[in-house]
Amino acid sequence: MGSYRALCGSYRALWGSVCLYGPLWVSIGFYTSLWGLCGFLWVSMDSMGFYGPLLLSEDEEDTKRVVRSAKDKRSEELCSIIRALRNAMKIKDVSRCLEDFELLSRAFNKAKGVLEREGPPRFYIRILADLEDYLAELWEDKEGKRRMNKNNARALSSLRQKLRKHNREYEAQIAAYRQVRMWGLWGNLWGRAMGLGCRAELCGWAERRGGAERRRAERRRKRAPRSRREEEEDENEGGEWEKVKGGAPLVKEKPKMFAKGTEITPAVVLKKLNEILQARGKKGTDRAAQIELLQLLVAVANENGLGAALEIKIKFSIIASLYDYNPNLATYMKPELWQRCLSCIEELLDELFQHPEIFIGENILEESENLSNPDQPYRVRGCILTLVERMDEEFTKIMQNTDPHSQEYVEQLKDEARVCSIISRLQQYLQEQGSPEELCRVYLRRILHTYYKFDYGMAADGSEDSASLMDRLCKFIYAKDRTDRIRTCSILCHIYHHALHSRWYPARDLMLMSHLQDNIQHADPPVQILYNRTMVQLGICAFRQGLIKDAHNALLDIQSSGRAKELLGQGLLLRSLQERNPEQEKVEKRRQVPFHMHVNLELLECVYLVAAMLLEIPYMAAHEFDARRRMISKQFHHQLRVGERQPLLGPPESMREHVVAASKAMKMGDWRSCHRYVVNEKMNGKVWDLFPEADKVRAMLVRSIQEESLRTYLFTYSSVYDSISMEILSAMFELDLPTVHSIISKMIINEELMASLDQPTQTVQMHRTEPSAQQNLALQLAEKLGTLMENNERVLDHKQGSYGGYFRDQKDGYRKGDGGYLRRGGYRQQERGSNY
Amino acid sequence: MASRKESSGAAGSGFGSSKGKGKAAATGDSAVKQVQIDGLVVLKIIKHYQEEGQGNEVVQGVLLGLVVDDRLEITNCFPFPQHTEDDADFDEVQYQMEMMRSLRHVNIDHLHVGWYQSTYYGSFVTRALLDSQFSYQHAIEESVVLIYDPIKTAQGSLSLKAYRLTPKLMEVCKEKDFSPEALKKANIAYENMFEEVPIVIKNSYLINVMLWELEKKSGVADRHELLSLASSNHLGKSLQLLMDRVDEMSQDIVKYNTYLRNVSKQQQQKHQYQQRRQQENMQRQSRGEAPLPEEDINKLFKPPQPPPRMESLLIAGQINTYCQNIKEFNAQNLGKLFMAQALQDYNN
């Protein structure tokens, strides 16, 4: 009887769905109704897996089980697994979920044969849908996922995948279920009411069912809101679980900041503020709530017009507690907090500008503060400068921790303008109020945000250009700073800025005058990184100016270590992972320069290699046979060797290959191919276009290549010429005659080229003074024989047997060696003489 | 070119004899005083190199012949097949035996009397040559090694030399003791490691007659190689090789030096130790105690391993050969240059 009525409830639900949602449910609905009418209520309901108000419990079925045991047994099995699964879901044990889900799908596969006829049971579809929602929610919760232990995290992703695959089969049903769920609710409620209403009338089995019914009802109650507004409910549920462990006393106080009717005076507010601040840093304090409370307090103070000083005081605490939100130094602020922090500081600055009469200082004692007495000048304890500096650091941290290739980074970077404006406003404020020390600090901040930006001269709105700004700020610091560090930093930034804008001579002079090169190794690592960045920028600047030698010298230290990336604070090297422990690694990570300030490493290397090529190739050509030749650049030689080792030489691909190919061309004096290799589409894209004045740099490059190729050519092939016409040389290298003349003259003066210029015919007359290949060999042989003889004489010394006389002998040997060199020099002169 | 040489051989003037004379006289007790080579053998060796040797690769082969009194007559030869990677299991000895048996069947001289080898710029004084010549000479007393220098030959003068190990060196090699002391005792220096045996090239009268006839028919033969003035390449290569050897020599000496130093250091330590012992014993004696037992001092101080000196001897020998080569070459070239200058003056 009761069951019949209940069926009506389910019926309604069903019809609702039927009317709205298509033929599938029509057929099933129809089916159900037939069965229902026949009186096999629970059977039909259960076998169909119809989850209505009247999902019959296991105990109930016992009575009739004999008839359809197979089907029931399967359903029962599935139900029990589902229960376990739900439990696991509730306690967020994802790995258990995964296990249970696997069990479930296996059991379902087994049961398929029996259940197939009616399609998958609804309770099965339901759990699938729920599980899917649940996983989606977990997946979205980034914070929670990070906190999850490894097992769970792994289980989560694999479960998600499995479920997705699995659910594909039942997509239609799940979608339908989701919609039906709304309607099911109606029936649910109604059916329950009926069921409860008729409870008294129920006879024997109904009583037995009672327990189950209650249980189900309970569960349903819980589920009901979920189906209505899933998200919210889950959040509540989460909150419920969290509440157990959290629950600082303050949270509960939240609604009633002050007892009703309390007269709100500055003293009360201050007391409250202190009370809140007392909780700061204690275990179990909800930091988010604390911020909320402070914010409320500000509102209250504002409402009651308690004066700007008090508000400022509270705002100081708000910002401080915003910084406190992250207990760990390594973690960075969340975007929303960061935004709040920014706006808070902006508000604070607004206040400060509005009330210039309020005196702020970090060394004002609590007792001597004056927040409310309007007769005396207001005095507030706090330091806006420290807060802003901290904000700047937080900004750096955020940038360090954001993937530089994501859109997110760009978004974050947009805040840079806000940070800059805050700093410049603070600077304004402090210029009126602050001490020179404070000014130095804020100037340094300003400088640090300015020095690496290239000034395109776009600021047409009358504000000073970055060069004069830098100049002004730095000079102030040079004059006023007492701490060495700020001065060092500002000098380096100043040099960097000069170099960035191609002002080579001021930059170089500043570097030399500061004597930083001598004592930079005593500075702390961030300053050293800044120094490295500056040196690199200086080198690149010199290169742009065509000062190849200077460029090479500036870049040599950084590049020859092979750790440019690390030295510039632009990333950690994998190689040294073994050399440092995780702690050190964390520290190093904190030192990294944010991506938007990076120096392009490929550009750096290319500049270095090209500079090395321009120096090294003529040098190599000039000293081809010199046994005691030194290399100018080890790294360049390394690249050459790598190039030689290639079994198959294709057209160059990477920047390095281009430079190697160019070097080879230059060796032959072929400046055209050299030029082609150094300046081409690929290299333009990779390197040269990155310069602000790309065309000027390219023009400089062409000219350097022509000149150095000419030198190389003369060194290499002078032995085959008796005389060369300078006009031909000038045509060959497309240099004008005076340039050729000057280059050759320079070579002759430096005794690099044994030749003389014949003015009337404009030719170079070679003086064949360089030893020929055989003569060179003979010289080498003589040298080797010298060492051989020396060694042999040492054997003789041993034969004569003087204990302890070895060292003296050795010294003698060296002296003899020197004599030998001199003798050889004599040889050479003789040879030259004979050759004339 | 070969024909010219053979004719000169037929005329009875072995070109190598003049250089080898001194040494051959010095080693009077040797079993072989002269090597007489058939023109056929010379041609076969040249052909072998022409076909298989390239660059600094070396070709080798077996010499066959007979000993008559103190004269070794080489009447035939055959090459060792070139080794390739594929036939690693090729049995050389088997091949030689087969070859000799076959030759015997056709009634040609089949007695093994040595071997020949080509050389690259005269670099043949090596350990490998020493070892194999030793084993040859150990097994067949009269065997020689013929060194054929294709580069010199290409320059216009056939270069073929016969070498044997001196009896002294044979002794040392038998002992296999190459320590400095042993070599000193054996009185071995680089000059008396190898002895050169004079060579005579001999053809049958019929061949000589034919050659005369051919010469008449062929008209003027081109002999420009002899007058080539280009010297830098050859000289450069030789110098390079010489330099390498000098380097090796230097290293060897440094090694030897270290050894000597170690020895002397140890000697000193030993000395100190003994003195200390003695003092202690004296003290004990004065106190009336028994002296300390004698210990084997050599056990306490293990003498350092002396470096084998054979390598340096060989290198010295090689350096000597290079120097000879360069000297010869330069002497010829200087002559040619003067000639050219004279010609130039004359023409002007």
DSSP assignment of B229-294, as one string? ---HHHHHHHHHHHHHHHHHHHHHHHHHHHHHHHHHHHHHHHHHHHHHHHHHHHHHHHHTPPPPPP
SS3 A823: helix
Nearest CB neighbour to B250, from listed A772, A780, A787: A787
Please report which helix (H) or strand (E) contains residue B311, including its range: helix B310-347
Q: Do residue A772 and residue B256 have CB atoms under 8 angstroms apart?
A: no
Residue A1: strand, helix, or coil: coil
Would you state the structure tokens that stand for residue A749, as one six-digit string?
Answer: 């003066």
Spatial neighbors of A416 by CB under 8 A, at least 6 apart, are A395, A449, A596
Residues of chain B with Cβ-Cβ distance to A778 below 8 Å are 239
The per-residue pLDDT for A258 is: 61
Whether residue A403 is predicted with pLDDT greater than 50 in this model: the reply is yes
Looking only at the bridges linking them, the beta strands covering B60-68 and A763-766 are: unpaired
Q: Which of B239, B243, B253 sits opposite A791 (nearest CB)?
A: B253
CB neighbour class for B257 (10 Å; exposed up to 12, middle 13-18, buried from 19)? middle
pLDDT tens digits, one per residue of A634-648: 888 888 888 888 777
Lookup: tokens for B319: 């350096």
How far apart, in whole angstroms, are the C-alpha atoms of residue A53 and residue A615? 89
Q: Which has more confidence, B215 or A3?
A: B215
DSSP A577: G
d(CA A768, CA A724): 13
Query: Residue A617: which of A734, A740, A698, A713 has the closest Cα?
Result: A713
Contacts A–B by Cβ distance under 8 A: 46
* pLDDT mean over A642-664: 85
User: A662-674 burial, b if ≥16 CB within 10 A, otherwise e?
Assistant: bbbbbbebbbeeb
CA dist., res. A713 & res. A618, Å (int): 8
Which chain B residues have a beta carbon less than 8 Å from that of A798? Answer: 257, 260-261, 264
Of B236, B240, B246, the CB nearest to A788: B246
Q: Which of B240, B243, B256 sits opposite A795 (nearest CB)?
A: B256
Contact (Cβ atoms closer than 8 angstroms) between residue A380 and residue A309: yes
Confidence category of residue A831, pLDDT binned at 50, 70, 90: very low
Cβ–Cβ gap B246/A774 under 8 Å: no
Tell me the pLDDT of chain A averaged across its residues: 74
Contact B260 A772 (CB under 8 A): no
Four-point Cα dihedral A28, A33, A34, A40, nearest 10: 110
Helix (H, G, I), strand (E, B) or coil at B166: coil
Q: How far apart, in whole angstroms, are the C-alpha atoms of residue A605 and residue A475? A: 33
For chain A, how big is the Rg over CA atoms in Å?
Answer: 42
Q: What is the percent of chain A with per-residue pLDDT over 70, rounded to a whole number?
A: 70
Pick from A625, A794, A802, A809 the residue to mutate for testing the B interface (most B CBs within 10 Å). A794
Distance from CA of A532 to the nearest CA of B (A): 44
Chain A partners within 8 Å of B249 (Cβ): 788
- The 8-class DSSP code of residue A370 comes to B
Candidate from A781, A798, A806 with C-beta closest to B242: A781
Interface test with A, best of B264, B269, B330 (most A CBs within 10 A): B264
d(CA A209, CA A201): 13
Which secondary structure element, helix H or strand E, spans residue A34, and what is its range?
helix A22-38
Q: What is the DSSP letter of B303?
A: P
Distance CA(A283)–CA(A779), nearest Å, equals: 83
In this complex, the residue of A772, A773, A784 whose CB is nearest that of residue B250 is A784
More confident residue, A777 or A68: A777
Distance from CA of B260 to the nearest CA of A (A): 7
- Which H or E run contains A572? none
Mean pLDDT in chain B?
80
> Reduced to 3 DSSP states, what percent helix, strand and coil does chain A have, rounded to the nearest 5?
75, 0, 25
Shortest Cα distance, chain B CAs vs residue A725, angstroms: 29
pLDDT of amino acid A537: 92
E strand or H helix at B31 = none
Q: Beta strands B60-68 and B34-38: pairing type?
A: unpaired
Nearest CA in chain A to B243: A781
In the structure encoding, which two tokens stand for residue A106, read together?
Answer: 């296996």
A794:B242 CB<8 A: no
Q: CA angle A88-A93-A95, nearest 5°?
A: 105
Provide the 3-class DSSP secondary structure of residue B15: coil
Which is more confidently placed, A17 or B148?
A: B148
- B chain contacts of residue A794, beta-carbon cutoff 8 Å: 253, 257
Both tokens of B161, joined, read 């030399």
Residue with tokens 């130790």: B273
| Interchain contact, B264 vs A803, CB within 8 Å | yes
Closest-CA distance of chain B to residue A561, Å: 33
Long-range contacts of A396-403 (CB under 8 A, 24+ apart): A396/A594, A397/A332, A397/A333, A397/A590, A398/A332, A398/A333, A398/A335, A398/A338, A399/A594, A399/A595, A399/A596, A400/A332, A400/A589, A400/A590, A400/A592, A400/A594, A401/A332
Secondary structure letter of residue A754 according to DSSP: -
Could B232 and A773 be called an inter-chain contact, meaning their C-beta atoms sit closer than 8 Å?
Answer: yes
* Burial of B251 (C-beta count, 10 Å sphere; 0-12/13-18/19+): middle
Which of the residue ranges A72-81, A369-378, B159-168 would you say has the lowest mean pLDDT? A369-378
| pLDDT single digits (tens) A241-254 | 444 443 344 434 44
B261 contacts on A by Cβ (under 8 Å): 798, 806
- Residue B37: strand, helix, or coil: strand
Contact criterion met (CB < 8 Å) for A784 and B247: yes
Strands B60-68 and B112-118 turn out to be antiparallel
CA pair distance B199, A366, nearest whole angstrom:
117
Higher pLDDT, A461 or B112: B112
Residues of B with CB under 8 A from a CB of A: 232, 235-236, 239-240, 242-243, 246-247, 249-250, 253-254, 256-257, 260-261, 264, 268
Of A772, A777, A795, the CB nearest to B240: A777
Which one of A774, A788, A794 has the shortest CB-CB distance to B236? A774
**Mutate which: A777, A785, A787, A800, vs B, most B CBs within 10 A:** A777
Cα A200 → chain centroid: 68
Among the partner residues B232, B246, B261, nearest to A784 by beta-carbon distance: B246
Q: Round to whole Å and give the CA distance between A25 and A21.
A: 7
Interface test with B, best of A798, A800, A808 (most B CBs within 10 A): A798
| A773–chain B nearest CA distance, Å | 8
CB count within 10 Å of CB A358 equals: 20
In sequence order, the β-bridge partners of residue A376 are none
Over residues A111-156, the pLDDT tens digits come to 776 666 666 777 777 888 888 888 788 777 777 777 777 777 777 7
Residues B322, B242 contacting (CB under 8 angstroms): yes
Q: H helices of A51-203, where?
A: 58-62, 69-90, 94-115, 122-140, 142-147, 150-168, 171-197
d(CA A622, CA A631): 12
Predicted confidence (pLDDT) per residue in B88-119, tens digit: 666 778 888 888 888 888 888 888 888 999 88
Whether the per-residue pLDDT at A32 is higher than 60: the answer is: no
pLDDT (average), residues A98-116: 76
ipTM above threshold 0.90: no
The per-residue pLDDT for range A146-188, each reduced to its tens digit, is: 777 777 777 778 877 877 777 777 777 777 777 776 665 555 5
Q: Which of A795, A797, A799, A802 to mutate to test the interface with B (most CBs of B within 10 A)?
A: A795
Do B239 and A781 count as a contact with CB atoms less than 8 A apart?
yes
Backbone angles phi, psi at A580, to 5 degrees: -130, 155
| Stated length of chain A | 836
Q: What is the DSSP letter of A91?
A: T
Nearest CA in chain A to B233: A774
Which phi-psi region, left, alpha or beta, contains residue A22 (left: φ > 0; alpha: ψ -120 to 50)?
left
Say how far apart CA B6 and CA B221 lie, in whole Å.
Answer: 15
Task: Using CB atoms, pick whichever of A777, A792, A798 lies closest to residue B243.
Answer: A777
Give the model confidence (pLDDT) of B127-166 as tens digits: 888 888 998 888 888 889 999 988 888 877 788 889 988 8
Core vs surface per residue B6-27: b (16+ CB within 10 A) or e: bbebbeeebbbbeebeebbeeb
Confidence at residue A552, expressed as pLDDT on a 0 to 100 scale = 92
